[in-house]
A and B are shown apart, each in its own frame.
Chain A
């Protein structure tokens, strides 16, 4: 049974700092891993999707890596901005290739001006 864990639960950094969010999963037989952003009271915005055959994906200031063998993914945010403040969620598929996502509890990020 797939379980996804995110550390830390909360993070506060000054503006401009580079930071890394961590995600670990118990079943390495995943098809993909997705990172999402959730703003308070809002829905989820997809940030990056990494297929199992890929090692990383990049979009602007965001870079996500995937290491299936160790059961880990990281989301790197460069030059953080106050607008990056949100909860970041990682989700692994449920190993059934149906697209069913198993979510971590999220990391709530605060970037202080």
Chain B
């Protein structure tokens, strides 16, 4: 059973470009979480999704950021018109069920660098 997969592992974008980060959850997991780790800061929750639904997006910046988890295919975190402050490691986690009972399994992360 492959773990959580994220690609690309490293992504370089120039200011104003778009960044698309992909996350394939573990097999059998239907819950996906995105977290961001800014340099010298801890991990911060961004968004929680189930298939075709955004459950909690309280950690998402109001503008330029969006996330989806379609019925088929990976979850996508999309950042439009990137700025240097978006440079960070973005981690995806998945779990088989919702909430407290289930351990979240993290992917290796995508390290975004904005030039």
**Scoring A residues 71 to 111 as 1 if CB is less than 8 Å from chain B, else 0, what string do you get?**
00000000000000000010101101111111111100000
Most buried by A among B41, B93, B95, B104: B104
Which segment of B12-20, B61-69, B75-83, B105-113 sits at the interface? B105-113
Give the nearest-CB partner of A93 in chain B.
B100
A98: chain B residues at CB < 8 Å are 48, 55-56, 98-99
Contact A104/B42 with A43-B91, A43-B109, A99-B95 known, Cβ cut-off 8 Å:
yes
Is A105 in contact with B56, judged by CB distance below 8 angstroms? no
Does B115 have its Cβ within 8 Å of any Cβ on chain A? Answer: no
**B:14-58 near A, CB below 8 Å:** 31, 33, 35, 41-45, 48, 55-56, 58
Does B101 have its Cβ within 8 Å of any Cβ on chain A? Answer: yes
Is A36 in contact with B45, judged by CB distance below 8 angstroms? no
Q: List 30 A-B contacts (CB under 8 A).
A: A31-B100, A34-B103, A36-B106, A42-B109, A43-B4, A43-B106, A43-B108, A43-B109, A46-B103, A46-B105, A51-B100, A51-B101, A52-B100, A89-B43, A97-B100, A98-B98, A98-B99, A99-B95, A99-B98, A99-B99, A99-B104, A100-B33, A100-B45, A100-B59, A101-B33, A101-B45, A101-B104, A103-B44, A105-B41, A105-B42
A residues with CB within 8 A of B: 31-32, 34, 36, 41-46, 49, 51-52, 89, 91, 93-94, 96-106
